[in-house]
Chains A and B, each alone.
Chain A
Amino acid sequence: MDDLKIIELFKTKRSDKAFVELYKIFPKFFVYIKKQGGNKTEAEDVFQDALIVIYKKSIDSNFTFNSSLKTYLFNTAKYLWWDLKKVEKKWDYLDSSQQDYLEFKDELDEFIEKEEKIKKAEHVLETLGEKCKQILVSFYFDGLKMIEISKKFNYSSEKSAKTQKFKCLEKAKNQLLNL
C-alpha cells in the first residue's frame, strides 16, 4: 500500500485499514526497543502514540513529508521513546534522512507537550459511563450526526440525545477543571 493510499484512507474515515498497514512495522520497532532495553508494553504505548501523530498529520491538509510514511512513523516512535526515557538530545538518535528535520522536531515536541494534557483528559473520560463514552466517540471521532446517534443509542429524539451528550461532556469537563 503506498503512502498516498494510507493518507487517503485516513482522510476518508477508513483509518482502520491504514492502521493495519502501518502496524506492520511494529515488530521492527519492537526489536529496536528491545535492544534499548524496553519491554513490549512500552513499545506498544509509544508506537500507538506515534500512530496518533501520523493520523493527525495525515488528516491535516498542510501535511507534507519527504521520507516515506513508515520511516516517518518509525522516527516518530523512536523520538517518543527517547522522550519517555527522559533522554535529552533525543534528536541525535534519529537519522538525518528525516529531511523535514527541524519542523518535524518542533511538531513532535508540541505533540508531546499537548499529549500530557490530553492524557489527563483521557483519564477523566475513562471515569464516564460506557454509553457516555460511546456517544462522545461517535460524535467527535466517527463524525456521526446527532440524529444518527439518537437512533443508534435508542433516544426518543435528537434533542434528548444532544442533551445527553452535553451532560456527559459537562461531567467530564467539571472533573477536568477541578483537577
Chain B
Amino acid sequence: MRNELNEMEIIERYLLNTLSNDEKIAFEQRLKTDVGLQKNVEAQALLMESIKNKGVKSQIKKAKNKLKWNSFKKWFLGGLALVALILAVQIYVLQLDKNDTKVVDLSQAGASLANQEFVINGNKDTVIHTQEGIIFVIKAGTFLNVNNQVVEGEIKVNIQEALSAQAIMRSGLSTLTTNGELLETGGMFNIKATFNQEDLKIDPNKGIYSQIPTNDIKADMKLWQGVKQANGQILWDNPVDLVKSLICVDMDLLNFYPPQYEEKLMDFGFPNATKTQKDSVYYSFATHFDAKGRSQFLDKDRYQDPNAHIDEINEYKFPLKIGLNPIKVKAFWNKKFNNTLLATREFEKRMPVIHQTGSSEILDLYIQNLDKNLWEIDELAAQKSLGKLAQQFLNFASLKEGKVDVNLEMQLLLQKYYIKNEENYKNTLNKVYDYWHKQQKADEKEAKMDRKHNVNEAIRINNNLVKEFNDNLDTVYKQLNIKTINKTDYYKVQIINTGWHNIDRIVLEATINRQSTEMEFNGKKAVINYTKLNVYTAKFDRVFAYVLTPKLPSFSRMQNAKDTVFTPNTKGKSKAQTFSSLNYKLNDYYNYALAVIAYKGDSVFTYFEENIQYSKTTDKRDLVMDKFIDLQYGNEKEFFKTIAGFTGTKEFKKEIKSDVNYHNFKHQNNLRRIKQNEMIAFRRAIQEFVFPLYYLSAEHYLSSLDDNLDVLKNPFPITDMPIVNSKSLVMVKCEGLEDDCNPHTFYILGKNGESCVMNTDFLDTISDIGTNNWLLKNKGNDYVIEFTRDNTILSSYALQKEGNYWVAKTKNRILKFVEYDFESVEKLSTKRFFNGEKEL
C-alpha cells in the first residue's frame, strides 16, 4: 500500500486500540507535535463514528419497516380497514407467492367466494342484506342498460363478498393500487347486475347505498374501483370518498341512557328492571332542574338524626343541577322521531359523549339540525365543548357520517312536537313530587306525635314519682316512728327542692334512682326496697310490658333490654333459646300487675298477671326476680279491658292504649323511614351515573370534606385549606408537554386569597413529577398561579380572561381553566372539588 494508506492503517489501529505499547507511545509522541496528523486522526475517528452510525441507522430503518409490516399484518388479520370494489368486471387476481408471481383467475378462486343471487324488481326500492351483513339500498330505476335506459322487471343481482381477512386471503384478491401501493381493506365486494343475461350498469345519479359492517370505522376509508389490467390482474383505482348515508332503526332498538346507567341500576339492586321502570327512575331526575324538586334534597335539617354518622347526614344533599335534563332525552326517544338522524346507530354512539358534556345546548344541536349531515353537527358540538370532549366530537366528525333525508315540513313538525313533548313531560313529574310531599307530611306528623308523646310521658313519670316519693316517705316515717307532719304540706313539695329534711332527701334519691336504701334516725332503722323484675318472653316483632298499681296515678313501662340466651332446664329439652327481655325495678311496697302485649306480624299476643309483690320487710335487700312468661294469642280489646278491670278506672286503660298506639305508629314510621333512606341512598348513588359529567369525578357527588381531603392526600394541614367560595376553577385544557399536562388539577380559591393546593403526587399519571405543585391564588377578582417545587415558588403567572377561559401562559404550557359555579358550593361551604380526568 501507499504510504498514505499505511499511515491510515496506523491511525486506525490507534483508534481501535490495537497498537502495541511501543507503537502507541511512539504514535502519541508524534501526535503531540504533528498538527497534520492530529487533523487526520480526528477526521478518521469521525468517519469511523459516522460509518457506525450509518450501520445503526440502516438497522433502525429495517426495524421500522419490519414493524410497519407487523402492524399491517395485525391489522390485516384483524380485518379492520378499507373498502374496495367494483362493478361487473371479470375479476382476475394477483396472488403473491413466495418467489414467483402468478395470475389466478377468480372464476376458480371464486369457488370460495359464494355467489349470492338476488332477484329484484327494477321498479321498486329494494334493500338487500348479504350473508356477511352488507346492506345495499337499491332505489327503483337504478340499473341502466347499454343504452342508458332504466331497466324494469326482474333483475338478477349477483354479489360476491370477502369481508374477513381469511376470505380475502383465500380468494387471493390483492390490495394493490394502480400506483403500486398496498391498501388497507375493510372488505371487498363485487356486485353485478344482469337483465336477460345482459350486463347492466348503475345510474350514477342514483347510486347504490351500501353499508359494510365493521368493528372499527376508519375515517379515511374510500371506495376503490377494480381495474382490470392487460395481464388480467385487478388493480385498484379511482378512489372516491364513501358516502355514508345513515340508516334509521326503530327508536325501540336504540339506547340513549347515560353510559353505565343500566349497568349501575343492576348493581344497585334492580337486576330485572323493565324499560318502563328504568325510564321512570331516569326521568325522575328531571326534578333536579327545578327549585321545587331540588328543595327536598337541599333542606339541611331534613334528615338530621342525632345518632347518624356525619356522612349520613350529608348524604344526598348535593343534587346536581348541571347535566342533561332527562326530560330532553325523553322528548325525542320515541317513535315520532323514527326516520330521523336521531333514530340511527350513529347518533346513539354520540349520546354517551353528549351525556358527559351535560350540555342541553349540544343535544339541541342534533335535535334542531335534523336536516344536516351528522358530521357537520359534530363539528358544531366540538366548538361548544372543551378538551377531550371536543376531541371526541372531532373524531366523530372525521367519520364523515351523513344524514337522513327528512323533508322540511316534517322537520318543522318534529321540532314543534319536541318542544311540546318537553313541556308535557315536565308535568308528569308530579308523581315524584307527590312522593316527596307525602314523605314530608309523614315527617311532620311524626314530629307532632313525638312531641305529644314526650310531653305526656314526662307528666306521667313526674306524677308517678311524686306519689311514689310520698308513699315511700310515709313508710319510712312509719318505720322510724315519726308522726307524719302535715300531709297536705308535703304533697305540695317540689320534688327538686330536697334540702329541707335529711330523711326526705335520702328517700327522694332512693325513689328517683329506684334503689333499695337503708337509713337510721334516732337509733331506728328504716328501709325502702326495690326488686328488679326481669321478664323474659319468646321472640316477637315488638313487645311492650307494663307494670301497674292502683296506688300510683299511672302505669310504668318496662325497659326493653338486650335479648338473652338461656338454656332452660325443662325436662328433656336443653336447647338454648333466645328471649326478649324487659326489666323494671318494682317497689316492694306496692302490689303490681304485669300486663304484656306483643306483636308478630298482624297477630297480637297478651299476658296479664296480678299480685306481683314481695312481702314487706324491714331488712334492706336487692332482689332480682326472673319471670318467664308465655304470651297467649289474643286481641288488643280484651287486653285493655283486663287492664281497666284491674285498676277499676278508665285512666290506665286509656293511657296504656295511647302508649301502645304511639309505639305501633313509630314502628310503621320506621319502616317508612327505612324505605325513604333507601330511596335517598339509591338516588344519591345513581345520580352520578344519570349525570355522568366528564369534568366531575365521583367525589363531586358526595359532600364530605374529610373524605375529599383524605383522597387528596394533601400534604398541608387542614387549617391551611381555605373555605371554598362559589368560584371554582377547573383546568380543562393544557397545551404543552403531554406527560404532565393532562388536566387533573385545579383549584378552588379561598375568599381571602388563601391558596388551595393540590399535590400532584396524588395523580398517578404524573406521579413522576414528584413534589411539584400548582398553587392557584385568588387576588381580588383575578387569579394567580404559582408553580412550586419542594415548597419553593419557582414561578408565578397571572391568569388572563380569554373568552370563557382563564388562561395561564407559563414557560412551557398554556393552561386553560373554566370557572365552574356549583350552586351547592354555597350550600355547603366546606365542599371542595378536585378533578381527575375520567376515561371516556
Please give the residue numbers on chain A whose beta carbons come within 8 Å of chain B beta carbons, in ascending order. Answer: 15-16, 19-20, 22-24, 26, 31-32, 35, 44, 48, 51-52, 55, 78, 89, 92-93, 95-97, 114, 117-122, 124-125, 133, 136-137, 140-142, 162-163, 166-167, 169-170, 172-173, 176-177
Whether the Cβ atoms of B738 and A32 lie closer than 8 Å is yes
Q: How far is the CB of A4 from chain B (nearest CB, A)?
A: 19
Q: Which residue of A lies closest to B52 (CB)?
A: A141
Known interface pairs A140-B48, A166-B1, A166-B5; A95-B56 also in contact (CB < 8 Å): no
Contact B1 A48 (CB under 8 A): no
Q: A35 CA to B48 CA in the complex, in Å? A: 37
Chain B contacts of A172 at CB under 8 A?
A: 47
- B56 and A51 form a contact (CB under 8 A): yes
Nearest residue in A to B766 (C-beta to C-beta)? A95
B739 within 8 A of A: yes
Provide 26 A-B residue pairs closer than 8 Å at the C-beta atoms, listed in order of the A residue: A22-B63, A24-B67, A26-B67, A48-B57, A52-B56, A78-B737, A97-B768, A114-B49, A121-B43, A122-B50, A122-B54, A133-B54, A136-B51, A137-B51, A140-B52, A141-B51, A162-B9, A166-B5, A169-B47, A170-B4, A170-B8, A172-B47, A173-B8, A176-B46, A176-B47, A177-B39
Q: Is the CB of A52 within 8 A of B44?
A: no
Query: What distance in Å separates the Cβ of A114 from its nearest Cβ neighbour in chain B?
Result: 8
A169 and B44 in contact (CB under 8 A), knowing A52-B56, A136-B51?
A: yes
Name the residue of chain B whose CB is nearest to the CB of A159. B1
B309 on interface, CB distance cutoff 8 Å = no
Interface presence of B60 (CB below 8 A):
yes
B811 CB contacts on chain A under 8 angstroms: 89, 92
* Chain B residues whose C-beta falls within 8 Å of the C-beta of A166 in the assembled complex: 1, 5, 8-9
A87 to chain B, nearest CB (A): 9
Q: Are B47 and A125 within 8 A (Cβ)?
A: yes
**B5 contact set on A, CB distance < 8 A:** 163, 166-167, 170
Which B7-56 residues have a C-beta within 8 angstroms of A?
8-9, 39-40, 43-44, 46-56
Q: Given A16-B63, A23-B60, A137-B51, are A95 and B43 neighbors across the interface (CB < 8 Å)? A: no
B55 touching A141, Cβ below 8 Å: yes
Q: Which of B504-531 contact A (CB under 8 A)?
A: none
9 additional contacts, CB 8 Å, given A52-B56, A137-B54?
A20-B66, A32-B737, A93-B812, A95-B769, A133-B54, A141-B51, A142-B55, A163-B1, A177-B40
Bound together, the chains give a CA A137 to CA B64 distance in angstroms of 20
**A71: shortest Cβ distance to chain B, in Å?**
9
Nearest-CB distance from A140 to chain B (Å)?
4
- Inter-chain CA distance A31–B52, complex, in Å, is 29
What's the Cα separation between A163 and B3 when bound, in Å? Answer: 11
List B contacts of A31 (CB < 8 A): 738
In this assembly, does B237 line the interface, its C-beta being within 8 Å of a C-beta of chain A? Answer: no
Please state if B51 and A140 are interface contacts (CB–CB under 8 Å).
yes
Please report the C-alpha to C-alpha distance between residue A35 and residue B814 in the assembled complex, in whole angstroms.
13
| Minimum Cβ distance to chain A for residue B771 (Å) | 9
The 8 Å CB contact of B63, one of A23, A117, A119, A167, is A23
Q: With A and B bound together, what is the CA distance between A117 and B52 in angstroms?
A: 14
Minimum CB distance partner of B62 in chain A: A16
B59 at the interface (CB under 8 A from A): yes
Is B56's CB under 8 angstroms from A125's CB?
Answer: no
> Cβ of B60: which chain A residues have Cβ within 8 Å of it?
19, 23, 48, 51-52
Q: How far is the CA of A119 from the CA of B55 in the complex (A)?
A: 14
Bitwise, B750-774 to A at CB < 8 A (1) or not (0) is 0000000000000000101110100
For the complex, what is the distance from the CA of A55 to the CA of B47, rounded to whole Å? 18
- Nearest 5 pairs of A and B residues by beta carbon: A141-B55, A97-B768, A19-B63, A121-B50, A166-B5
**Which of A15, A44, A95 is in CB contact (< 8 Å) with B59?**
A15
Q: How far is the CB of A13 from chain B (nearest CB, A)?
A: 10
A52 near B57 with CB under 8 A, answer: yes
**Chain B positions near chain A (C-beta within 8 angstroms):** 1, 4-5, 8-9, 39-40, 43-44, 46-64, 66-67, 735, 737-740, 766, 768-770, 772, 811-812
* Complex Cα spacing A135 to B57, Å: 16
- Chain A residues contacting B57 (CB-CB under 8 Å) are 48, 52
Chain B residues with CB under 8 A of A136? 51
Pair A118/B770 contact, Cβ less than 8 Å: no
Q: Which residues of A contact B737 (CB under 8 A)?
A: 32, 78, 93
B39 to A: closest C-beta gap in Å: 6
Report chain B residues within 8 Å CB of A120: 46
Query: CA–CA, A167 to B6, complex, Å?
Result: 11
- Give the nearest-CB partner of B770 in chain A: A96
Q: How far is the CB of B735 from chain A (nearest CB, A)?
A: 8
Q: How far is the CB of B359 from chain A (nearest CB, A)?
A: 26
Which residues of the partner chain B approach A133 to less than 8 Å between Cβ atoms? 54
Decide yes or no: A95 and B738 within 8 Å by CB, A140-B55, A141-B51 being known contacts: no
| Chain A residues, CB < 8 A from B56 | 15, 51-52, 55, 141
Complex-state Cα separation, A117 to B67, whole angstroms: 30
Which chain A residues border B50 with CB–CB below 8 Å?
118-119, 121-122, 124-125
Q: Give the CA-CA distance A137 to B46 in the complex, in Å.
A: 14
Tell whether, in the assembled complex, residue A173 and residue B51 are in contact, meaning their CB atoms are under 8 Å apart.
Answer: no
User: How distant is the Cα of A20 from the Cα of B59 in the complex, in angstroms?
Assistant: 9
Contact across chains for A20 and B43 when beta carbons are under 8 A apart: no
Chain B min CB distance to A148 (Å): 15
Could you say which residues of chain A place their CB within 8 Å of the CB of B53?
A: 52, 118, 122
Report Cα–Cα, A96/B63, bound state, in Å: 30
Is there contact, CB below 8 Å, between A23 and B64? Answer: yes
Contact between B738 and A19 (Cβ–Cβ < 8 Å)? no
Whether the pair A137, B55 counts as a contact (CB closer than 8 A) is yes
Residues of A within 8 A of B47 (CB): 121, 124-125, 169, 172-173, 176
| B9 surroundings in chain A (CB, below 8 A) | 162, 166
How far apart are A135's CB and chain B's nearest CB, in angstroms? Answer: 10
Give chain B residues whose Cβ lies under 8 Å from the Cβ of A140. Answer: 48, 51-52, 55
* A residues in contact with B766, CB < 8 Å: 95
Cα–Cα distance between A5 and B53 once the two chains are bound (Å): 22
User: In the complex, what's the smallest C-beta–C-beta distance from B271 to chain A, in angstroms?
Assistant: 41
Q: Which B residue's beta carbon lies closest to that of A48? A: B60
Report whether A125 and B64 are in contact in the complex, using a CB–CB cutoff of 8 Å. no
Bound Cα distance A162, B8 (Å): 11
Tell me the complex Cα distance, A47–B90, Å: 47
Question: Is there an interface contact between A96 and B768, defined as CB atoms closer than 8 Å?
Answer: yes
B40 touching A173, Cβ below 8 Å? yes
A117→B46 contact, CB < 8 A:
yes
CA distance A22 to B735 in the complex (A): 27
Are B62 and A19 closer than 8 Å at their CB atoms?
A: yes
Would A125 and B67 be within 8 Å (CB), given that A16-B62, A95-B740, A97-B768 are in contact?
no
Chain B nearest CB, measured from A168 CB (Å): 10
Contact B1 A169 (CB under 8 A): no
For A162, list chain B residues within 8 Å (CB).
Answer: 1, 9
Q: Which residue of chain B is the closest to A71 with respect to CB atoms? A: B768
Q: A165 CB to closest chain B CB, in angstroms?
A: 9
* Nearest A-chain residue to B63, judged by Cβ: A19
Bound CA–CA A64/B56 (angstroms): 21
Min CB distance A19 to B, Å, is 4
Query: In the bound complex, do residue B59 and residue A16 qualify as a contact, i.e. CB atoms below 8 Å apart?
Result: yes
- Bound together, the chains give a CA A93 to CA B741 distance in angstroms of 11
For the complex formed, measure the closest distance between the CB of A24 and the CB atoms of chain B, giving whole angstroms. 7
Q: Is the CB of A96 within 8 A of B55?
A: no
- Chain B residue at smallest Cβ distance from A97: B768
- How far is A17 from B39 in the complex, measured between Cα atoms in Å? 37
> Measured between C-beta atoms, what is the minimum distance from B626 to chain A in Å?
73
User: Do B59 and A177 have beta carbons less than 8 Å apart?
Assistant: no
Which residues of the partner chain B approach A121 to less than 8 Å between Cβ atoms?
Answer: 43, 46-47, 49-50
Q: Shortest Cβ distance from B17 into chain A, in angstroms?
A: 14
A114 surroundings in chain B (CB, below 8 A) = 49
Given contacts A24-B67, A169-B47, contact A35 B4 (CB under 8 A): no
Structural contact, A118 and B768, CB atoms closer than 8 A? no
Instruction: Determine the distance from Cα of A125 to Cα of B50 in the docked complex, in whole angstroms.
Output: 8
Q: Which residues of the other chain, B, contact A16 by a CB distance below 8 angstroms?
A: 59, 62-63
What is the bound-complex CA distance between A23 and B44, given in angstroms?
A: 31
A125 to B738, Cβ gap below 8 A? no
CB pair B51–A95 under 8 Å, yes or no, is: no
